[in-house]
Amino acid sequence: MKRFDCMKALAARLKDELVILSLGGSVDEWYNAAPHMREAGLFQQQLGCVTPQAFGLAAGLPHRRIVSLDTDGGLLFNLGILATLGNEQPKNLFVVVWDNECYQSIGGPPTHTATGRVDLAAIARGAGVEHAHIATTVEEFDALCAKGLSMEGPFIIVAKVAGTVQPDIKRKHSDGREDKYIFVRHVEATEGIVIMGPSEHN
Amino acid sequence: MKQSAVEAVIRGLKKAGVSIVCYLPDSLFKELYPALDADPDIRTIRVTNEGEGAAICGGVFLSGKRAALVMENSGLRAAVEPLARMGLGAGIPVVMLMSYRGELGENNWWAIPHGITMEPVLNALRIPYQVIREEEKIERAIADAYSWSYSAYYHSGVALGGEVVR
């Protein structure tokens, strides 16, 4: 199963959601698979922080669905977030874990899921996230997206994808600071709020 | 902590507009956590480590709400990686309220590392902070930290020590 194909299936189901996603090979793929979500997506660079940030966003905007596009390496860095989600039960958080069983962005050394013994969906269920499922085909993945995006979460899909990157796609070239401004201005415009406001005259 | 100091912290958080607090409990703030849990205007989120708490606070910032990360100062070390990346890489701020374990007066050997490392770690990350040891200065210090962080879009900290926590 190719991650890019899954992304295209997910992207077709997204409209008003906000997305937090991991840096690495998946960024350029998402940028190409979901161009209509460009301003609504924030790329984060640190292992272990994607789903926690998405949860923080979900806590702050409880009326809006938040999508976390995490990775096996990222989730393994902080499995504790699964227990936090198990206890907090955020209704509006939808998580996809792109489990390619490797640290792809640095050339592909294996993560702990590569042995076949570590099941991130089972860990999530054990941590109290009842709806945590594995997808091994695009059809399974798409059906789980349809389910997870139409019910109250938390909902986690562990997508077992190949360790390859879609070839010949356009590279994203903005940095974390530019991305943050783009994202924050989008949240401000769509929520009718001020996050980074004008300076005081004093 | 005295009840009056607990109330000063909560007044400061409210003055700053905080509605979500992430915490990993510690002993010096032990009276503060149940008071935060009980406050109807504040949602508390218990986390499994302070780095996770920092990341959640970063996400709350992006929502337009205001969050605080409340912890023992040892938690600063656990949070360094997400703080460095969010703060220096993206300009996503986290405001921290820490108990100052390991300062002069500390009577536990295991807390000595927290005192020795807290201020150098804050300085390494270039995070401005105040150490507050007088109750009447708590509220203003917390509000000032938010004013600065929402101008700089960078982290700031308040460490409570001395008679405030012992």
Report in angstroms the alpha-carbon separations of B107 from A80, B74, B102, B111.
Answer: 31, 16, 8, 8
From B52, B62, B65, residue closest to A184, measured CB to CB:
B62
Does any domain span residue A145?
Answer: yes
A chain contacts of residue B48, beta-carbon cutoff 8 Å: 78, 80-81, 83-84
Asked whether the beta carbons of residue A60 and residue B52 sit closer than 8 angstroms, the reply is no
Does any domain span residue A65?
Answer: yes
Asked whether the beta carbons of residue A42 and residue B64 sit closer than 8 angstroms, the reply is no
Residue A41 neighbours by CB under 8 Å, 6+ apart: A18, A19, A20, A21, A30, A34, A183
Query: How many domains does one find in chain B?
Result: 1
CA distance A1 to chain B (A): 30
CA distance A139 to chain B (A): 31
Burial class (CB in 10 A: 0-12, 13-18, 19+), A64: middle
pLDDT of residue A23: 79
From A42, A84, A194, residue closest to B48, measured CB to CB:
A84
Asked whether the beta carbons of residue B51 and residue A42 sit closer than 8 angstroms, the reply is no
pLDDT of residue A45: 79
Asked whether the beta carbons of residue A80 and residue B52 sit closer than 8 angstroms, the reply is yes
Residue B96 · residue B146 · CB < 8 Å: no
Report in angstroms the alpha-carbon separations of A35 from A4, A8, A110, A169, B163.
Answer: 13, 10, 30, 12, 56
Indicate if the pLDDT at residue A24 is higher than 80.
no
- CATH number of the domain within which A14 lies: 3.40.50.970
CA distance A91 to chain B (A): 15
Tens of pLDDT along chain B (166 residues) come to 999 999 999 999 999 999 999 999 999 999 999 999 999 999 999 999 999 999 999 999 999 999 999 999 999 999 999 999 999 999 999 999 999 999 999 999 999 999 999 999 999 999 999 999 999 999 999 999 999 999 999 999 999 999 999 8
B91 lies within 8 A of chain A by CB: yes
Look up the domain containing A167 and give its range: 3-191
Query: How many domains does one find in chain A?
Result: 1
A chain contacts of residue B62, beta-carbon cutoff 8 Å: 42, 53, 56-57, 60, 180, 183-184, 187, 195
pLDDT single digits (tens) B4-29: 999 999 999 999 999 999 999 999 99
Does any domain span residue A199?
Answer: no
B56 lies within 8 A of chain A by CB: yes
B chain contacts of residue A78, beta-carbon cutoff 8 Å: 48-49, 51-52
- CATH number of the domain within which B126 lies: 3.40.50.970
What ipTM was estimated for this complex?
A: 0.96
CA distance A54 to chain B (A): 6
Residue B15 neighbours by CB under 8 Å, 6+ apart: B139, B142, B143
B105: left (phi over 0), alpha (psi -120 to 50) or beta: left
Nearest chain A residue to B90 by CA: give it: A177
pLDDT single digits (tens) A89-142: 999 999 999 999 999 888 899 999 999 999 999 999 999 999 999 999 999 999
A chain contacts of residue B57, beta-carbon cutoff 8 Å: 56
Does any domain span residue A44?
Answer: yes
Look up the domain containing B38 and give its range: 3-164
From B56, B64, B91, residue closest to A52, measured CB to CB:
B56
pLDDT of residue A98: 97
CA distance A81 to chain B (A): 7
